[in-house]
Amino acid sequence: MELANIEKLLVKYENGETSLQEEQALKAYFQQQNIAEHLQTYKAMFGYFEESKAERFTKTIPLKSKKTTWKWFVVAASVALLVSIYFINTSSSSLSAAERKEAKLAYQETQKAFQLISKNLNKGESIAIAGLHEFTKTKRKIFKTTQK
């Protein structure tokens, strides 16, 4: 193939306008031994493409899911909660007034602790979402896109 035609095809290739047949012609040209000096850099690029086609990923990927451990943890926590509620209800009828008051106070303290945990989790979630919004805003500035 003549040099002028190859140079035109390279310009088209760099602009992403070549057809598959034209790309095949470029690959065939750069696999030859006699290539123009100023086009030697392209030889390495097209050689890399051919080499990368031959590469194969041979390692096995483990397909273990960690979600099942969380599911079992949730089930165990639910069972523990139900059992504790059952024992609290059955034992509360045999408790004295002082013991009931103490149990009620412990229940209220537990509720406060859960509310504090919930508040902090929601606070962390809002911080993460704010960071995500900041990331999106910065990305839009960089890529100069408008909000849709």
* Residue ranges of domains in the chain: 3-54, 65-97, 110-148
3-class SS at 88?
helix
Residue 6 pLDDT greater than 80, yes or no: yes
The mean pLDDT of 1-24, rounded to a whole number, is: 84
Residue 118 pLDDT greater than 80, yes or no: yes
Under 8 Å between Cβ of 60 and 31: no
Q: Within a 10 A sphere around the Cβ of 76, how many other Cβ atoms?
A: 10
Lowest mean pLDDT among 14-28, 62-76, 110-124: 62-76
3-class SS at 19?
coil
* CA–CA separation, 145 and 124 (whole Å): 29
pTM of the model: 0.36
pLDDT tens per residue, range 25-82: 888 888 887 888 888 888 777 777 777 777 787 888 777 666 566 677 788 888 898 8
